Amino acid sequence: MGFLALIDHLFNLALPALWMATTLVALQRLAGWRHPLRLGWGRQWMWLFLTGLAVIVAGWLVLQRDGAMLTYLALVVATGAVQAWLVHRYRSASQDASRS
């Protein structure tokens, strides 16, 4: 396998995590515009991407193959859980005051 083929395989391995992170950040910014987060979009994206990448690599190691539907299900559940945690943890100060 050549160097470019290796880079292509690694990119395609990480692509679902990249897509999930980008989609979740975009949806949170569009749907949650009235309740902004104190966390920047770049850090939010990085948390989600690294979580998704860890899930994909773990699924690849456990199941011994790439692209298993169980891995993609775990990717959706894990990134959704991290997104919910980030929204809960980093909501704006005005939301914290209104909840008290």
Q: What is the pLDDT of residues 17-33, one digit of tens each?
A: 999 999 999 998 888 77
Model's pTM, two decimal places? 0.84
Q: What is the pLDDT of residues 36-77, one digit of tens each?
A: 788 889 999 999 999 999 999 999 999 988 778 999 999 999
Q: What is the CA radius of gyration of the chain?
A: 16
Cα–Cα distance for residue pair 3/27, rounded to 1 Å: 35
